[in-house]
Amino acid sequence: MKTILVVDDDKEIANLISIYLQNEGFQILLAHDGHEALRLLEDNQISLIILDIMMPGIDGMEVCRKVRESSAIPILMCSAKTQDMDKVLGLMTGADDYMIKPFNPLELTARVKSLIRRSFQYNTELKLETDQTLKIHSIEISKMNHKVSSGGRDIQLTSREFDILYLLASHPGRVFGAEELFQLVWQEKYFVSNNTVMVHISNLRDKLEKELGYKLIQTVWGVGYKIDA
């Protein structure tokens, strides 16, 4: 049974989310502030975090940053803030997905299942396979361990960022458009106004450039993104 940590200072909303997901067979832990959330993360095996942004004390953005210092656990931001910049900031902080309140319970459940499935699919698909490690430029990408390293140092990526990097590195020189990347990585329908790919690419590029000292992912203006051979 997968355990989901729901973090929201609005107890009514937290309980409502809990009921929806318990009906789908998930085990739920509740936290109503950032400190409590971080404590529960240390003491429990968590499969996914549903994280509100606006909370007293440590807000959701700061919780997300602290989690990303040591873990790639899927994070679904859930907030009443609707401005595009809030969504961008949430994803840049390290969230894997973002939902606006009020939300459709069916959509919330679908996104939770999708994030968990993608996060854990490697453990089930690769049990009988040898490690598929890609080496490109100065980095190594281990599909089995879901790990990226350079010079023996690990580079912490979210599950979405890892999937994007692995896809680009698997096809050096090939240009992938934003719509194609979204459909292959998220496995959902792409909308013209969707800037999710751009945000994740930007975040991924910054992490890699900080470690490598150069831009690994190249932008082909008007076309898409690639990694040169």
Both 89 and 11 in one domain: the answer is yes
Rounded-to-integer distance, Cα 72 and Cα 119, Å:
9
Both 66 and 105 in one domain: the answer is yes
Both 44 and 156 in one domain: the answer is no
Domain, as residue range, for 116: 3-125
CATH of the domain at 70: 3.40.50.2300
How many domains are contained in the chain? 2
Is residue 64 very low, low, confident or very high in pLDDT (cuts 50, 70, 90)? very high
Rounded-to-integer distance, Cα 199 and Cα 92, Å:
7
Does residue 152 register a pLDDT over 60?
yes
In this prediction, residues 96-105 reach a mean pLDDT of 86
Both 85 and 29 in one domain: the answer is yes
Q: Residue written as tokens 């990347």?
A: 181
Q: Is the pTM of this model over 0.85?
A: no
DSSP letter (8 states) at residue 115: H
Both 117 and 94 in one domain: the answer is yes
pLDDT score for 168: 93
Both 139 and 210 in one domain: the answer is yes
Longest CA–CA separation in the chain, Å: 52
Both 164 and 71 in one domain: the answer is no
Both 54 and 166 in one domain: the answer is no
Both 113 and 142 in one domain: the answer is no
Both 110 and 27 in one domain: the answer is yes
Both 107 and 153 in one domain: the answer is no
